[in-house]
Chains A and B, each alone.
Chain A
């Protein structure tokens, strides 16, 4: 079974631009969540989608948004980029049909804002 796939692996953007990151979950997984990882803050939860609906949201500004498609693939968008948005963005999927199912992560997208 293929793992969680994130594209692109690396991105360099300029302040004020916007960016879209993509995540394809493991086949059969309907829950997709996004995390931001920085050296100072560690892993912080952005949001979770399940069956095309946002189920949970972390404490990030409205510039961070996401969506999920009917095939469970998810995209995350960041508008009006700031220098502080430079981070590793990780996507994770979960089976979610049993009470306890582990998170499976992709290799992330490294975003650098200049």
Chain B
């Protein structure tokens, strides 16, 4: 069964800092990997989706990379802002069409 792990569980950084969030998965047979953010009490907002054949995707200050063979993905956030404070989750879509979620990294950006 696919297991998805996110480290660290929580992260606190000063405004303006660049940061990296990590996601690892145990089964490399995946269709894609998706990064989300979740604000307290809300649903998940999709940030980036990387297909299994891709190495990275970029959207504004966000860059996500995928190394399928090592079972790893990173989400890079440049020039962090207080509005980036949220929980970030990664999800992998396995060959059985099911999505498996990590437990998330809670990010706090201090003004």
Give the segment of A11-19, A62-70, A78-86, A96-104 that binds chain B. Answer: A96-104
Tell me, in angstroms, the Cα distance from A58 to B97 when the chains sit together.
12
- Would B43 and A90 count as touching, CB distance under 8 A? yes
Interface size on B, residues (CB 8 A): 24
Tell me, in angstroms, the Cα distance from A92 to B100 when the chains sit together.
13
**With an 8 A cutoff between CB atoms, is B98 at the interface?**
yes
What's the dominant secondary structure at chain B's contact region?
A: strand
Tell me, in angstroms, the Cα distance from A88 to B102 when the chains sit together.
16
**With an 8 A cutoff between CB atoms, is A108 at the interface?**
yes
- Would A42 and B97 count as touching, CB distance under 8 A? no
B23 shortest CB reach to chain A, Å: 13
Tell me, in angstroms, the Cα distance from A104 to B91 when the chains sit together.
12
Within 8 A of B (CB), among A91-114: 92, 99-100, 102-108, 110
Tell me, in angstroms, the Cα distance from A87 to B75 when the chains sit together.
27
Interface string of A30-62 (1 = CB under 8 A from B): 000101000000110100100000011010000
What's the dominant secondary structure at chain A's contact region?
A: strand
**With an 8 A cutoff between CB atoms, is B63 at the interface?**
no
Tell me, in angstroms, the Cα distance from A55 to B98 when the chains sit together.
10
Tell me, in angstroms, the Cα distance from A47 to B111 when the chains sit together.
41
Which of B42, B98, B101, B103 meets A56, CB within 8 Å?
A: B98
- Would A99 and B42 count as touching, CB distance under 8 A? no
A86 shortest CB reach to chain B, Å: 14
A102-B49, A103-B99, A108-B43 known, 19 other contacts, Cβ within 8 Å: A4-B43, A6-B43, A42-B103, A42-B104, A43-B91, A58-B98, A90-B44, A92-B44, A100-B49, A100-B93, A103-B91, A104-B46, A105-B43, A105-B45, A106-B43, A107-B43, A108-B41, A108-B42, A110-B41
Using a CB–CB cutoff of 8 Å, the interface residues on chain A facing chain B are 4, 6, 33, 35, 42-43, 45, 48, 55-56, 58, 88, 90, 92, 99-100, 102-108, 110
